[in-house]
Amino acid sequence: MPLTPEQKAQIEAQRAESSATRRPTVAALEEVLYQAQPVLDHGFVRVVDYMGDDAAIVAAARVSYGRGTRRVSEDAGLINYLMRHRHTTPFEMCEIKYHVKLPIFVARQWIRHRTANVNEYSARYSILDNEFYLPAPEHLGVQASANRQGRGDALTGDEAKRVMELLRGDAEQTYAHYQDMLNEDEDGKAPDPGRQGLARELARMNLTLNFYTQWYWKIDLYNLLHFLSLRADAHAQYEIRAYAEVMLETLKRWVPITYDAFCDYRLGGFNLSAKGLEAVKKMLAGVEVTQKDSGLSPREWREMMAALGRQG
């Protein structure tokens, strides 16, 4: 995750500043504020701002005037209740803003979450860096046979080498063509003064999707939890999951009580349909239940039995 000297200087300057405030701050999150946490080969996630904490969620739920003399255990009990019963509004009172550097194909998947405020690096205005994502060998998987949107076992040997060479070669070639069409160096000068460069907004269009982009992404806590519940899941694509896992660590620093409730009721929990709940009740009563008896689809039955730790 190479940061430019300018980026490093900016981060150091931000971290050197300190402001007096009457607003609640979170010491654990302040420790990593502005720092770039590495993701993939050239990407990063960094928290650049936030508002609220666990107490803000409790205050919103109770519409109270402040922390008062409540105990942490009481706050945890209320937050657990809110999470368990899906009372979402109090979580919307907290917000966080990230600066993220990520491959374009991950950004296209990420942007499907339409509940955030986003400002992306403009390749119409600036020239993209020559940085592109190449999967580590263990993530260079074949198409999964049972899951059309997933990957299976990793390629090995000559085939893995061939695919990696194709990925690298295509990216290097398209960036060389991008530079050639721009006819513009880092200082804004034309390497070939005898011809005009193509507009940046057009020159970018042949770049491969593994090139990196950057954006500022601001979201409230409720919608962040929804994002993480999908993207930190084991079934999510590895590349976006890598970002979600780093963001989970920032969540833990920011709102630790909410993080524990989220892990308990969302990441570590399992939702039953009405038919699934009825099947479990029968099992507990000693009745033998099969997939056909349950009225569940084969896939839902398998998922339920796996969550229960039983053979389907």
- Tell me what pLDDT residue 1 has: 55
Side-chain-side CA neighbours of 277 within 13 Å: the count stands at: 5
Report the C-alpha gap between 140 and 296 in whole angstroms. 35
Stretches in the chain below the pLDDT threshold 50: none
Alpha carbon 260 to its chain centroid, in Å, reads 18
- Tell me what pLDDT residue 2 has: 64
Burial bucket for residue 139 (CB in 10 Å: 0-12, 13-18, 19+)? middle
- Tell me what pLDDT residue 278 has: 94
- Tell me what pLDDT residue 84 has: 93
Could you tell me if 87 and 270 are in contact, meaning their C-beta atoms sit under 8 angstroms apart? no
Report the C-alpha gap between 43 and 128 in whole angstroms. 14
Tell how strand 37-39 and strand 141-143 pair up: unpaired
Q: Which domains does the chain have, with CATH numbers?
A: 5-133+210-267 (3.30.1360.170), 274-307 (no CATH)
Q: Tell me the three state secondary structure of residue 103.
A: strand
- 231 catalytic? Reply is yes
- CB atoms under 10 Å from CB of 136, counted, come to 10
Report the C-alpha gap between 241 and 239 in whole angstroms. 5
Dihedral angle, C-alpha 80, 84, 85, 86, nearest 10 °: 90
Phi, psi dihedrals of residue 208, rounded to the nearest 5°: -75, 160
Side-chain-side CA neighbours of 251 within 13 Å: the count stands at: 26
The amino acid sitting at 292 is K
- List the structure tokens of 237: 């694509």
Which long-range contacts link 266-270 to residues 24+ away (Cβ below 8 Å)?
Answer: 266/83, 266/225, 266/229, 267/228, 267/229, 267/232, 267/233, 270/304, 270/307
Total residues belonging to the chain: 312
Short-list 247, 239, 248, 242, CA closest to 106? 239
| Close Cβ partners of 298 (under 8 Å, ≥ 6 residues apart) | 291
Catalytic residue (choose from 231, 241, 299, 302): 231
Report the C-alpha gap between 66 and 280 in whole angstroms. 43
pTM of this structure: 0.90
pLDDT tens readout for residues 51-84: 999 999 999 998 865 555 566 778 899 999 999 9
